[in-house]
Amino acid sequence: MTPSTTVALPVWAQEASLGIFIHWGPYSVPAWAEPTGAWGAIPPETWFAHNAYAEWYANTIRIEGSPAAEHHKATFGDVPYETFLDQWRAEKYDPASWAALFQSICADYVIPVTKHHDGITLWEAPGTADLNTVVRGPRQDLLAPLAEAVRAVGIRFGVYYSGGLDWAFTSYPPITSMEEVDLFRPTDAAYAEYATAHVRDLIDRFKPSVIWNDIDWPDAGRADGSLTELLEHYRQLVPDGIVNDRWGADVWDYRTSEYSHDTHNESGIGWEHNRGLGFSFGYNQIENLELTMSTQEIAKLYADVVSRGGRLLLNVGPTAAGEIPDVQLRSLTGLAPWIQNVKPYTIQRRPAQPSDDIKITGDGWSRAWVSGKNLVVIADDFEKVRIDAGALEVVAISLPVQDGTD
């Protein structure tokens, strides 16, 4: 299978500008990570023992001497990670309220984690025995009601799946380096069959608009042709579905970047930048207002990504109970009126080109793109920005204020 090009992206994906990522799992019970900084900005030799991703808790607590290991020992003693699955209740889970929030900020698609690296699935995936949320913990399929809720308000539904790592399926030592991510990745035929059955079940159940695989695909599944067969099945069932670029094979429809990592992929049209509202994807109780993106910071990131031809996949990390944390909710609700004003001007958009004869100068922060016959300019202070739009008509939109209000 050869890689798709951005030209071949379906219309919905070309028009989309904002997706919502959802990282929710047993890691939301301890909800702890050291907020060291952004992935890609921290040296790899430092990152794993000081991992800012709360969803990596199961790995980080196994690294002797890591702050997470010390925190776990002091807070939970020798309780194994799997215990958090039983403590996870999701008692306040209200997918309709999530969908209403995502609709208010004009999200085009929603991608929940269906299985992260801990190997625990949010639906009764084939072969998982009791490592799923139907048999233990919440004791319900957490995906189906969310798919129904977001689709009911006109938002597309996608799925994230960790094809490359599964700590419940393997018994490797903890990952402490980038080299060990690949070294401790299950690659055998048994795991390929297991992962393939999961993704095929997701395809058949949900017909997702996006399949967002993470950290490669088992080697055996690439070698025996089962990955090709799996994605052919997907293309037949969901003709306008798309897949990302993390399969270890040329099967992608679009490229991704994450925080400060893989930013070389941010070129052309149709790429996707993903990040959390803090340094973590999974809920991290340490991430207070100071460590969470403000409404204005989200707006600036969104405008920057859109102006360069990309889509923003912005993550929320619910609490174990199923609530969007107040610090995240504050920023997102503050974004709603601003993005509702901007969103119509993201249709038929493209980055400005030299042939447009556009010139934007001055000392203020600004980003711009072309939408139809309009030059859309987002700026923090239009008194500090001078715009020569050529033959285009200027649509000037100020950034929302910093504190989260419009």
Sign of the dihedral through C-alpha 111, 117, 120, 125: positive
Beta-carbon contacts of 353 under 8 Å, excluding residues fewer than 6 positions away, are 370
Mean pLDDT of the chain: 96
Say which DSSP state 177 is in.
S
203 shares its domain with 333: yes
The answer to the question of residue 1 being in a domain is: no
pLDDT digits (tens, 9 = 90+) for 259-318: 999 999 999 999 999 999 999 999 999 999 999 999 999 999 999 999 999 999 999 999
**379 and 282 in a common domain:** no
Q: What angle do CA 277, 281, 283 make, to 5 degrees?
A: 90
Look up the domain containing 367 and give its range. Answer: 349-398
Q: Which of 323, 344, 365 is the last residue of a domain?
A: 344
Over 80: is that where the pLDDT of 406 sits? no
Residues 378 and 290 in one domain: no
Strands 210-213 and 256-258: unpaired
Q: Same structural domain for residues 234 and 215?
A: yes
- 258: Cβ contacts below 8 Å, ≥ 6 apart: 39, 40, 273, 274, 275
pLDDT in the model for residue 8: 79
Do residues 209 and 294 share a domain? Answer: yes
Q: What is the pLDDT of residues 11-30, one digit of tens each?
A: 999 999 999 999 999 999 99
Half-sphere exposure of 151 (CA within 13 A, CB side): 12
Residue closest to 226 by CA, chosen among 200, 202, 255, 250 = 200
- The candidate with the shortest Cα–Cα distance to 56, out of 194, 225, 174, is 174
Give yes or no: residues 330 and 356 share one domain: no
Binned at pLDDT 50, 70 and 90, residue 403 comes out as: low
Q: DSSP characters for 250-298? A: S--SS-EEETTBSGGG--SSS-EEEEESSS-SS--TT--GGGS--HHHH
Looking at the structure, tell me whether residues 338 and 358 fall in a common domain: no
Which residues, in sequence order, are CB contacts of 179 under 8 Å at separation 6+?
none
Domain closes at, from 344, 360, 385: 344
Domain boundary among 344, 369, 388: 344
Q: Are residues 76 and 96 in the same domain?
A: yes
pLDDT digits (tens, 9 = 90+) for 194-247: 999 999 999 999 999 999 999 999 999 999 999 999 999 999 999 999 999 999
Indicate if 291 and 369 belong to the same structural domain.
no
From the list 320, 325, 323, the residue with the least C-alpha distance to 25 is 320
Structural domain count of the chain: 2
What is the per-residue pLDDT across 150-172, written as a single tens digit (0 to 9) for each? 999 999 999 999 999 999 999 99
Looking at the structure, tell me whether residues 314 and 362 fall in a common domain.
no
Residue 406 lies in a domain: no
Tell me, yes or no, whether 404 lies in a domain.
no
Question: Per-residue confidence at 404, pLDDT binned at 50, 70, 90?
Answer: very low
Q: Are 162 and 202 in contact, with CB atoms under 8 Å apart?
A: no
Instruction: Report yes or no on 405 lying in a domain.
Output: no
**The domain spanning residue 34 has which CATH number?**
3.20.20.80
Asked if 388 and 339 sit in the same domain, the reply is: no
Whether residue 5 has pLDDT greater than 90 = no
Residues 362, 339, single domain; the answer is no
